[in-house]
Structures are given as C-alpha cells and as structure tokens.
Amino acid sequence: MSHEEHKREARKTIRVSVVTASDSRGEAEDASGAFLRAALLDAGHALVSYRVVKDEPEAIHAALSEALAGGAEAVLVNGGTGVSHRDQTYEVVAGLLEKRLDGFGELFRMLSYEQIGSAAMLSRAVAGIWHGCALFSMPGSPAAVRLAWEKLIAPELPHLLREMEKHAKWSP
C-alpha cells in the first residue's frame, strides 16, 4: 500500500492538546498557541486541552501528563526549544519519548534554514511517541509554529496515528 493510500485510510479527527511553555507569555499574548488551536480545529481535529505553563520541567511535565490523562492522542508543545538557560522544554520532552521521530527535527531545521538561515541550527525541535501519544515540540515563535504545523504536522498527523494504532500496543 502506498503512502498516499495510508494517508487516505487514516482517521480524520485526532484528539489534540496544545501546551505553550513560556516565562513571558500568558494566554492573552499567546499568538502561537492561538494559531495552533485554530489550525487544528480548522483541520477537523478536536481540542482536548490548552495550557500556558512556565518553562520549568515540573510544569511542562504536569501539563503533558494532564493532556495524556485527558485523552489527547497528540500534544503540540511550543516554546522553550532554544539554547538559553531558561529553555528547558527540549530536555523534558526528549526525556519522555519512547520512540523518536528524528525526521521532524531534521526537516523542521531544514525548512527553517530556508526562511531564517543558519540560526535554524539553534532550534531543538523534537518529536516522538510517549505512552501512545504523538508528542511534538517546536519553537514558540508564530512563524516557527506555522511552519511546523503547515509543512510537517498537519500533513502527517492522521497518518502517524494510523501507523501507531496499526502495529503497537502502548501502555499508559
């Protein structure tokens, strides 16, 4: 069966949570989280939850655990993927992943390079699977979030869930 056939057979509605990790943005200032919520609803997916948390390991882990407990099949995390001392999202997300989707980070940086040049190498975008949930972590800028959603996540999310469900038994 071809890749396109797999995509056609995939479910069209995925239960998705959005988590914004930021020390400087609240819900009112969270343009990236607002974009993700609107984009996933426009794509026909269901928004399970949305949270803005401080870029602190305990807060990020708690938000991810709550999303999973709430029935999320995918979690989109934005913010905290840079290299500053406060950027801790990557360590939390990467440490949870049971299976990594290395291509997500690689492709994200390649596409970012086309837009912003060599600064793209500073991004620590990462994705994978955690307890049967697809977990994507991307930078928090609106341009980066739009790029990740439009070019990588939206086109493949249903296909990814189909593949996860087809062969795997994940334990919570």
CATH number of the domain that 27 lies in?
3.40.980.10
pTM of the model: 0.92
Q: Per the domain annotation, does 74 fall within a domain?
A: yes
Q: Which amino acid is at 103?
A: G
Do the Cβ atoms of 111 and 147 come closer than 8 Å? Answer: yes
Q: Per the domain annotation, does 132 fall within a domain?
A: yes
User: Which residues span the domain enclosing 32?
Assistant: 13-155
Tens-place pLDDT, residues 29-52: 999 999 999 999 999 999 999 999
Question: Three-class SS of residue 157?
Answer: helix
Q: Per the domain annotation, does 99 fall within a domain?
A: yes
Q: Per the domain annotation, does 60 fall within a domain?
A: yes
Q: Per the domain annotation, does 171 fall within a domain?
A: no
Q: How many domains does the chain have?
A: 1
Q: Per the domain annotation, does 166 fall within a domain?
A: no
- b/e per residue 33-46 (b: at least 16 CB within 10 A): bbbbbebbeebebe
Q: Per the domain annotation, does 78 fall within a domain?
A: yes
Tens-place pLDDT, residues 106-141: 999 999 999 999 999 999 999 999 999 999 999 999
**Six-digit token string for 78:** 């934005």
- b/e per residue 2-19 (b: at least 16 CB within 10 A): eeeeeeeebeeebbbbbb
Q: Per the domain annotation, does 162 fall within a domain?
A: no
